[in-house]
Chains A and B, each alone.
Chain A
Amino acid sequence: MGHSMTSAITAGEGIDSPYALSHLDALESEAVHIFREVAGEFERPVILFSGGKDSIVMLHLALKAFAPAAVPFTLLHVDTGHNFPEVLAYRDRVVAEHGLRLHVASVQDYIDAGKLRERPDGTRNPLQTLPLTEAIQEHRFDAVFGGGRRDEEKARAKERVFSLRDEFSQWDPRRQRPELWQLYNGRHAPGEHVRVFPLSNWTELDVWQYIAREDIDLPQIYFAHEREVFKRSGMWLTAGEWGGPKADESVETRQVRYRTVGDMSCTGAVDSDATTLDAVITEIAASRLTERGATRADDKMSEAAMEDRKREGYF
């Protein structure tokens, strides 16, 4: 296949008019359009901000969409209580730098109050749904921006850019509104809200290329570093208070980086020597695994793990 690819490059050069946008410009323009639609049509939008790369790119796009004015949205972080300290520090720094307003919904508070119970496997990812849903109700958010991408997972591939949720935040894939042209329908009843995904059409590689192009600062755990880790379900997990390692799991120091940033209990690190953005991009372009496949224990549970969590109101 290498041969036909090479000849196709040569054959194809120069066919696009000077008005053609690069794919990053096209994706950026589309995302900005989505942010501005929400600002124009909703009363109380909020950006879900985890300090992960996708939410960082979302915030960057929102800043560009409304400059030189301030971003007309607040931020919401669902804190699992097992977050990477580097990511929390990054979150607080960004909030201060741009004068943003941050709401935090805490899984630990829910556990302490007896409203949620710790799972036997220690993972807190599924526990985020209730605090998220209640925060949306409490603050009466009507549009909730998420960093989900359709390339991440096959249930997400069916997700709309504007995705209607009932008052229980539930997603019903059979009752989604068809989405035509760039006409987004955000009508909703009181108590319902719309999840909005400005990065729907981005791939992992697009996100990284955009981060490189825009020179966006990221938490250091996205780059290769030495870390004490142990192996569980084929993934390198960070040792910590959250419940690892168990007696039969041995800790070792490896050079790793994170491809995704989530709850420490179910987000795996990958072996890597990529210390720069360029090296990360090279590594991803050559990877034979999807980012969720490589790093998320919770998606390995079943064929429909993500669909089920999304139906319940998950991100």
Chain B
Amino acid sequence: MSNSVETAVQLADLSATTLLRFATAGSVDDGKSTLVGRLLHDSKSVLTDQLEAVEAASLKRGQEAPDLALLTDGLRAEREQGITIDVAYRYFATPRRRFILADTPGHVQYTRNMVTGASTADLAVVLVDARNGIIEQTRRHAAVAALLRVPHVVLAVNKMDLVAYEEKVFASIAEEFTAYASELGVPEITAIPISALAGDNVVEPSANMDWYGGPTVLEHLETVPVSHDLTSCHARLPVQYVIRPQTAELPDYRGYAGQIAAGTFRVGEPVTVLPSGRTSTVAGIDLLGESVDVAWTPQSVTLLLADDIDISRGDLIVPSGDAPATTQDVEATVCHVADQPLTVGQRVLLKHTTRTVKAIVKEIESRLTLDDLSQHPHPGQLVANDIGRVKVRTAEPLALDSYADSRRTGSFLLIDPADGTTLAAGMAGESFATHKVLTTVEDEEGWDF
């Protein structure tokens, strides 16, 4: 084993690595567990005692080979039923990067889990079986990635060994998927032909597909850009907490603590505080003990302003030249994540950045079927795993961006005020980059009640 050599390489580079958050969507049938298992195993992230536990558990179930799904199916109910119910987070590292993998179940009844995993992902891996090509489930996964504005999508065309590693099989699936996902507005799509079982193009380049000149899955994960040029983004700082030491040495210190949600802030920059509209100038930026001239997302900072103005938790600090309009009428796409339904007229709490306000669901305009992007007008209610278009009226103005411009300041939760349940995850503005992809289907009265 060349473990010691690899370890030395890892150590030399670990301090300089960046973090990639990515999500996988797919079912066991697509070979997702095999792919995830191989990524973890080949990056030395499955350790001896974990593998021994999986082997023992597999044997107890009468399976001869270790079932790598048992690594991620952490709950008793999941193991008993042999299905993934919840999002499982897995962690692994290569010399180049640290990875946080949100492993989500692929079936339609778990759309909420897929949405959850995709909400923080920089990249989504969509799996298809090369023998089946693009199916409804694939279209749904692509739609979730597009809806959640995941910047990078990988189409892993799996089980290439079962189609004799034929280039034309891969090419036709890749072409169909790329056309579909581009139409939905996915900005970057990479298709990779793999066999997770045989190991082709997962970590090692395949010896069976000379015609493919692109990266392996791991190489792509290691090299895809995790951040972009932020100077063109709208800068946003939701205030989390006001830091006031009130000590003899610092009687007048007032710092506005928060994590920069988008863009960059600079000392000397004129800023506006929303929703009040008061203005000031950035006098200083404290980056966790270090005074800096510029800070950017997602750094947690404390902003010092030149003027003593009234600012509290829930306010949004933005550059004066680039403030979003405030509104009490929110039009958005929501994914319903609770077991109890969301109905027209329902009173809810809306949590946007660090601000929670009362709100009422004015209208549920349509329910969206992600498999074929058909819209069903006025469904009356949304139930678990439904995606719908809603209009919400808030009791107080919100400084809301469109989700397409800013994932963090364009997203919100709807919460049940009675028991605190998270009802729905909302994205302000248009669902997809292009509107023409949606078709409208008039349902019969009460079709889905």
List residues of chain A with CB under 8 Å of any chain B CB. Answer: 1-2, 4-6, 8-9, 11-12, 15-17, 19-30, 32-33, 36-37, 39-40, 64-70, 150-151, 153-158, 164, 173-174, 176-183, 185, 187-189, 200-201, 203, 205-206, 209, 213, 281-282, 285-290, 293-294, 303-304, 307
Contact = CB atoms under 8 A, between A and B. Distances in A.
Contact of A307 (B74, B228, B258): B74
B298 A29 contact: yes
Contact of B296 (A19, A179, A307): A19
B413 A205 contact: no
B50 A65 contact: no
A68 B245 contact: yes
A185 B94 contact: no
A11 B241 CA distance: 42
B42 interface: yes
B259 interface: yes
A181 to B, nearest CB: 5
Closest 3 CB pairs of A and B: A187-B420, A293-B49, A154-B74
Given A36-B240, A64-B289, A290-B47, A2 B229 contact: no
A157 B17 contact: no
Contact of B75 (A1, A28, A158, A288): A158
Given A4-B205, A21-B299, A33-B300, A303 B218 contact: no
Given A182-B120, A303-B79, A288 B413 contact: no
A183 B13 contact: no
Contacts of A16: 18, 225-227
Contacts of B259: 29-30, 32-33, 36, 182
Interface string B369-393: 0000000000000000000000000
Given A36-B241, A180-B411, 13 more contacts: A1-B204, A8-B96, A19-B230, A32-B300, A33-B259, A154-B73, A180-B119, A181-B119, A189-B420, A201-B89, A203-B93, A303-B57, A304-B76
B113 interface: yes
B75 A209 contact: no
A191 B87 CA distance: 28
Nearest to B119: A180
A36 B258 contact: yes
B91 A69 contact: no
Contacts of B50: 290, 293
Contacts of A11: 215, 219, 223
Interface residues of B, number: 104
A214 B337 CA distance: 40
A307 B75 contact: yes
A67 B90 CA distance: 32
Interface in B239-278: 240-241, 243-247, 250, 253, 257-259, 264
A135 to B, nearest CB: 23
B48 A288 contact: yes
A40 B240 contact: yes
Contacts of B91: 150-151, 201, 203
6 contacts: A17-B228, A19-B297, A66-B243, A153-B74, A157-B88, A180-B116
Contacts of A157: 72, 74, 88-90
B5 interface: yes
A146 to B, nearest CB: 16
A106 B379 CA distance: 56
Nearest to A302: B76
Nearest to A31: B300
B18 A23 contact: yes
Nearest to B8: A282
Contact of A40 (B120, B226, B354, B419): B354
Nearest to A177: B422
Given A26-B19, A151-B91, A213-B15, A185 B422 contact: yes
A170 to B, nearest CB: 15
Given A22-B17, A29-B299, A294-B49, A189 B257 contact: no
A151 to B, nearest CB: 5
A285 B205 CA distance: 26
Interface string B397-431: 00000000001100111010001111001000000
B112 interface: yes
B19 A185 contact: no
B288 interface: yes
B163 interface: no
B203 interface: yes
A180 B86 CA distance: 13
A187 B338 CA distance: 15
B11 A281 contact: yes
